[in-house]
Amino acid sequence: MELNELIQQRKAKAEALKAKGVVLYPSQSSQYVSIGRTVSDFKEGQRIAFCGRITAKRAHGKAAFLDLRDSTGKIQLYIKKDIVGEDNFFIYENTDIADFVEVAGELFKTHTGEPTLKVEVIKILSKALRPLPEKWHGLRDVDIRYRQRYLDLISNEDVAKVFKARSKIIKAIRDFLDAKGFLEVETPMMHYIPGGAAGRPFKTHHNEYSMDLFLRIAPELYLKQLLVGGLDRVYEINRSFRNEGVSTRHNPEFTMLEVYEAYSDYAGMMHLAESLIVSLVQDIFGKTIISYQGKELDFTPPWKRLSFQELVKNEFSIIPEDNEAVMLKKLKSKGFAKEVNKLSRTQIAKIIEEVLEGQMSLNPTFVTDYFSSMCPLAKNKKGEPLVSERFELYIAGMEVGNAYSELNDPLEQRQRFEDEIKELATAEQKNIDDDYCLALEHGMPPAGGLGIGIDRLVMLLTDQASIRDVVLFPLLRPGQE
């Protein structure tokens, strides 16, 4: 049957119900009881009421069985005309799969042991004018799954489990940090100057002030101003935006955890990242060795450490003293960036990291000793002025975290900003963040800062191959129904 015909049939039922005085979209139900909890603690003979969505109908003349589902579980309904009466049976007859209803009656078990509610009263809560996907037990069209996530959640029980797990993971992160005395804060999402990370921003405009603004690419510079203000331990689970590519690991809008701790450094952040993630893994799985995409991931500490400085020297013969032209020449000699004549150090770093990602072991690995020229916000390593106190955390070949010993010298920070701007192409030019430099001039304590990609971490902990499977509404091109 064609979709339009099905919709017309449902509309006809809706009109029939309205003609009988039935309110199709009441403001609320009289009560709500968890189906899942009732089924798990089943008490035969108990009188009870449920609200939920009809997911199946099996008619048998003047009697019928229905499946009713809420967010906690499913229960079978038994409706018989002799029990519910003429008016209630008329309501049942004009219901469809996907309608929301409220039912009341008595619990019993069928001869097969199925928990069932013998319905005495049925009430429409919301009449669905469109049918659910044909295959209730599995919506397969990937585009529909992402574009109409509500259908995905209805049709694929495992999808709902992923997003429930995501919520629990974020709560566990908050609990972990709160227990250690960190304060959760909120910082602006619209910035005068995009900063705190390398990335192309989204641009917007404020009409009242007649000025251009940027959606944040990172909250870092605001969070470090809070360290200046005396908030020694802060974190933000933030939404950030980068106007860049889309892939199984990248969505333009993403969720980050950023943590800053006064009187710490990148070694302290290494310990924090390791202990936080191990705690999550143990809470979820009860062990530190799990499966991800059919392969074993071992989170048992201590995690492996590698030197970026040694990796790029061995792979590309690149050393910290090399300028951009020399780095590019060495990359080309190894078969990379052949069509490019000029790149900034940031762009070169991205090429190198993409190559190295493919060589990372599956198990968690801290990559340290990044070149200072690639880390404008990090302190230099003692005795090695061309190497920074920074690490990136890789798990299953993905970059999941990034951390620094935060640069708190206001004069050096301003100079680095100036040097960074000189490297940018004309189209990417930006101003120095004077507000941040002014804050540093008032004194910022030594500190460690850590960023962790929540979306990628959830991918790992829920065994999902694509970031789109852990973001409820990933960005898609406009589509037609």
d(CA 138, CA 127): 23
d(CA 380, CA 259): 20
Burial zone of 236 (CB within 10 Å; 0-12 exposed, 13-18 middle, 19+ buried): buried
Sheet strands (E) in 266-415: 289-292, 295-298, 304-307, 365-368, 380-381, 384-388, 390-395, 398-405
pLDDT for residue 138 is more than 60: no
% residues pLDDT > 90 (the chain): 75
Determine the 3-state secondary structure of 79 from DSSP.
strand
The tokens for 63 are 């009697």
Contact 66, 79 (CB under 8 A): yes
Which of 305, 302, 298, 178 lies closest to 237, judged by CA? 178
Render pLDDT for 57-88 as a digit per residue (tens, 0 to 9).
998 888 999 999 999 999 999 999 999 999 99
Render pLDDT for 181-220 as a digit per residue (tens, 0 to 9).
999 999 999 998 888 887 889 999 999 999 999 999 999 9
Contact 413, 407 (CB under 8 A): yes
Mean pLDDT (whole number) for 162-180:
97
Given pLDDT bands bounded at 50, 70 and 90, which one contains residue 137?
very low
The enclosing H or E element of 202 equals none
d(CA 244, CA 198): 11
Is the pTM for the entire model greater than 0.85?
yes
Residue 336 pLDDT = 85
CATH homologous superfamily of 3-132 equals Nucleic acid-binding proteins (2.40.50.140)
Render pLDDT for 36-52 as a digit per residue (tens, 0 to 9).
999 999 999 999 999 99
> Beta-carbon neighbour count of residue 193 at 10 Å?
17
Render pLDDT for 412-454 as a digit per residue (tens, 0 to 9).
999 999 888 876 655 555 678 999 999 999 999 999 999 999 9
The tokens for 480 are 């037609």
Which of 109, 97, 139 lies closest to 38, judged by CA? 109
Q: What is the CA radius of gyration of the chain?
A: 29
Which CATH number fits the domain 154-469, given the four candidates 3.40.50.150, 3.30.70.1380, 3.40.50.1370, 3.30.930.10?
3.30.930.10
pLDDT for residue 297 is more than 80: yes
Render pLDDT for 11-20 as a digit per residue (tens, 0 to 9).
999 999 999 9
Say whether the peptide bond before residue 478 is cis (omega within 30 degrees of 0). Answer: no
Alpha carbon 61 to chain centroid distance?
48
Burial zone of 4 (CB within 10 Å; 0-12 exposed, 13-18 middle, 19+ buried): exposed
Question: What is the overall mean pLDDT for the chain?
Answer: 91
- Give the domain ranges of the chain: 3-132, 154-469
Residue 7 pLDDT = 94
d(CA 220, CA 25): 46
How many Å is the maximal CA-CA distance in the chain? 89
Render pLDDT for 272-290 as a digit per residue (tens, 0 to 9).
999 999 999 999 999 999 9
Tell me whether strands 183-184 and 233-241 are parallel, antiparallel or unpaired: parallel
Tell me how far apart the terminal alpha carbons of the chain are, to the nearest angstrom.
18
The tokens for 433 are 């963040």
Given pLDDT bands bounded at 50, 70 and 90, which one contains residue 342?
confident
Which of 66, 34, 63, 71 lies closest to 50, judged by CA? 34
pLDDT for residue 360 is more than 70: yes
Q: How many CA atoms lie within 13 A of 359 on its CB side?
A: 12
439-to-153, 197, 295, 360 alpha-carbon distances in Å: 46, 18, 47, 38
